[in-house]
A and B are shown apart, each in its own frame.
Chain A
Amino acid sequence: MVEWTEQERDIINSIFSSLDYEDIGPKALSRCLIVYPWTQRYFGGFGNLYNANAIKSNPMIAAHGIRVLHGLDRAVKNMDNIKATYAELSVLHSEKLHVDPDNFKLLADCLTIVIAAKLGSAFTPEVQATFQKFVAVVVSALGRQYH
Chain B
Amino acid sequence: MSLNDDDKAVISGFWGKASSRAAEIGADALGRMLVVYPQTKTYFDHWKDKSPSSHNVRKHGKKIMDAIGDAITLMGDLNNALLELSQLHAFTLRVDPSNFKMLSHNILVVMANYFPDDFTPDVHLAMDKFLAAVARALSERYR
Q: Which of B62-70, B90-98, B111-119 touches A?
A: B111-119
Beyond A120-B116, A123-B113, A128-B109, whether A113 also contacts B32 by CB under 8 A is no
Q: Does B3 contact A (CB under 8 A)?
A: no
Contacts of B35 in A (CB 8 A): 125-126, 128-129
B:83-128 near A, CB below 8 Å: 105, 108-110, 112-113, 116, 119, 121-122, 124-125, 128
- Kindly state the separation between the CA atoms of A120 and B105 in the bound complex, as whole angstroms: 17
Whether A31 and B121, one on each chain, are in contact in the complex, defined by CB atoms closer than 8 angstroms, is: yes
Whether B121 and A117, one on each chain, are in contact in the complex, defined by CB atoms closer than 8 angstroms, is: no
Chain A, interface residues (CB within 8 Å), range: 20 to 34
Beyond A35-B128, A129-B35, whether A52 also contacts B113 by CB under 8 A is no
Q: Output the least CB separation between A134 and chain B (Å).
A: 12
- Kindly state the separation between the CA atoms of A132 and B102 in the bound complex, as whole angstroms: 12
Q: Does B74 contact A (CB under 8 A)?
A: no
Chain B, interface residues (CB within 8 Å), range: 10 to 19
Beyond A31-B124, A52-B121, whether A117 also contacts B116 by CB under 8 A is yes
Whether B108 and A113, one on each chain, are in contact in the complex, defined by CB atoms closer than 8 angstroms, is: yes
Whether B128 and A117, one on each chain, are in contact in the complex, defined by CB atoms closer than 8 angstroms, is: no
Whether B113 and A117, one on each chain, are in contact in the complex, defined by CB atoms closer than 8 angstroms, is: yes
Q: Does A118 contact B (CB under 8 A)?
A: yes
Whether B105 and A109, one on each chain, are in contact in the complex, defined by CB atoms closer than 8 angstroms, is: yes
Beyond A34-B121, A35-B121, A35-B124, whether A129 also contacts B112 by CB under 8 A is no
Contacts of B125 in A (CB 8 A): 34-35
Q: List 23 A-B contacts (CB under 8 A).
A: A31-B121, A31-B124, A34-B122, A34-B124, A35-B124, A35-B128, A52-B121, A52-B122, A112-B109, A113-B108, A113-B112, A113-B124, A116-B112, A116-B113, A117-B113, A120-B113, A125-B32, A125-B35, A125-B36, A125-B52, A126-B35, A128-B35, A129-B35
Q: Which 7 A-B pairs have the closest CB atoms?
A: A117-B116, A34-B121, A125-B35, A117-B112, A116-B113, A129-B36, A116-B112
Q: Which residues of B come within 8 Å of A, CB atoms?
A: 31-32, 35-36, 52, 105, 108-110, 112-113, 116, 119, 121-122, 124-125, 128
